[in-house]
């Protein structure tokens, strides 16, 4: 078979608007981040939404959205998704060479199509581990059932951490040769400009001279643990002159804002809406410490970005964050949000310019730079596998 000019990709997303903050440009950025967006790829994003429509957001990227109450019980929404996706696929299956998704709950319907394109799964969220930590046993069993259904359908699983690799082998029963480690490419930025902007930004971020800046960059969702970061900060400011800057949007915003108000932290915490990714780098350079209190994390790109910018990092010991910080905390520290004393001690060492902190920052930056050198782009893999995808 002769190779065609374009790889035709069907990207299945439960609700792209939530994933990309209802911004088509953010959706494009995420596709580019994972190395999927390229002129040689023709991409169709299929999702549920508040209304049905089709739109072309780029010459080679289109969105097909089917109306559904996406906030209905997830299992009902997944059943509906399978119904409408199967109808769409039945009409258009000859138009696609490969199917991609990062959500295992919306693949079940493909068992009814013996002849189908190869399926590539991005294992970014470890659903079993997350549901166990949240003590959501129904969610846990639902995930187990879905993973059993899709195991034999998956062609390749892309993982972004050692824990993800273990998860794919243990629960999805994927052989090593079908598990590919990759790093989403989010690290390109104008370092000089970001550092220059950081100087002015720091003056705006601090309410009084001498305050240390603790940065949180995250979706405001329960699994990201921003509530834990705030509770930890509530204790930290009793001992350290500090200000917390939280960048992100999400369903937990009202609860977090209410916590700030009730605990008289309004002058100590600033909420900033999500922003274009290139603008984040100025905040990394302007801050003193990145706090990541996730309950579950596939890789923790924010942590790697902060490390590349030379920003010290403190995180919970979960998922890909374990790889980033290091077994012996060579590149940062692990924290328990319920024991803020470690954060207080770390901030003091940062302020003093402790040699141990300088060594961790050096190790962290080198660690990320080496990862960038070994960056595997999904885009590079697709053409090499073209004939296999169509076998």
Strand ranges of the sheet holding 41-49, from the earlier edge strand across to the other edge: 53-58, 61-67, 41-49, 7-12, 98-101, 118-123, 154-159, 179-181
Q: What is the pLDDT of residue 95?
A: 84
Token pair in block for residue 162: 């050692």
Q: pTM for this structure?
A: 0.71
Q: Does domain 191-373 have CATH number 3.40.50.2000?
A: yes
Q: What is the pLDDT of residue 371?
A: 77
Q: What is the pLDDT of residue 70?
A: 57
Q: What is the pLDDT of residue 19?
A: 62
How is 325-377 classified by DSSP, letter by letter?
H-TT-SSSEE--TT-THHHHHHHHHHHHT-HHHHHHHHHHHHHHHHHHHT---
Ranges of residues in the chain with a pLDDT under 70 are 1-5, 18-22, 70-71, 183-185, 206-208, 374-391
Residue 100, SS3? strand
Boundaries of every domain in the chain? 7-185+375-389, 191-373
| Fold assignment, 7-185+375-389 | Rossmann fold (3.40.50)
Domain 7-185+375-389 and domain 191-373, same fold? Reply is yes
């Amino acid at each position: 078979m002769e190779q065609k000019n374009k790889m035709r990709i069907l990207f299945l997303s439960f609700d792209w608007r939530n994933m990309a903050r209802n911004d088509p440009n953010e959706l494009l950025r995420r596709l580019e981040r994972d190395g999927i967006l390229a002129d040689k790829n023709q991409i169709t994003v299929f999702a549920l939404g508040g209304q049905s429509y089709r739109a072309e957001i780029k010459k080679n990227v289109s969105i097909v959205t089917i109306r559904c109450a996406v906030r209905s019980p997830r299992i009902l929404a997944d059943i509906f998704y399978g119904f409408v996706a199967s109808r769409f696929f039945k009409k258009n299956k000859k138009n696609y060479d490969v199917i991609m998704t990062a959500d295992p709950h919306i693949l079940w319907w493909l068992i009814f199509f013996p002849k189908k394109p190869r399926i590539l799964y991005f294992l970014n969220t470890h659903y079993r581990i997350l549901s166990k930590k949240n003590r959501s046993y129904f969610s846990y069993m639902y995930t187990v059932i879905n993973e059993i259904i899709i195991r034999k359908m998956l062609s390749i699983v892309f993982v972004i951490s050692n824990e993800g690799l273990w998860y794919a082998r243990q629960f999805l029963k994927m052989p090593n040769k079908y598990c590919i480690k990759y790093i989403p490419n989010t690290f390109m930025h104008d370092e000089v400009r970001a550092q220059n902007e950081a100087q002015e930004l720091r003056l705006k971020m601090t309410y009084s001279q001498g305050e240390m800046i603790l940065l949180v960059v995250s979706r405001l969702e329960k699994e990201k643990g921003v509530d834990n970061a705030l509770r930890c900060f509530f204790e930290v400011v009793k001992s350290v002159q500090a200000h917390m800057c939280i960048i992100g949007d999400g369903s937990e915003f009202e609860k977090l804002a209410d916590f700030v108000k009730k605990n008289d932290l309004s002058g100590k915490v600033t909420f900033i809406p999500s922003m274009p990714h290139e603008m984040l780098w100025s905040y990394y350079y302007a801050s003193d410490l990145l706090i990541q209190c996730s309950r579950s994390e596939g890789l923790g790109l924010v942590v790697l970005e902060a490390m590349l910018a030379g920003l010290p990092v403190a995180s919970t010991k979960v998922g890909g964050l374990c790889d980033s910080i290091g077994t012996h905390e060579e590149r940062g520290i692990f924290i328990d949000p319920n024991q803020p004393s470690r954060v207080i001690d770390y901030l003091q060492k940062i302020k003093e310019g402790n040699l141990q902190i300088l060594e961790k920052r050096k190790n962290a930056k080198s660690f990320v730079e080496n990862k960038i050198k070994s960056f595997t782009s999904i885009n590079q893999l697709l053409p090499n596998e073209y004939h296999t995808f169509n076998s």
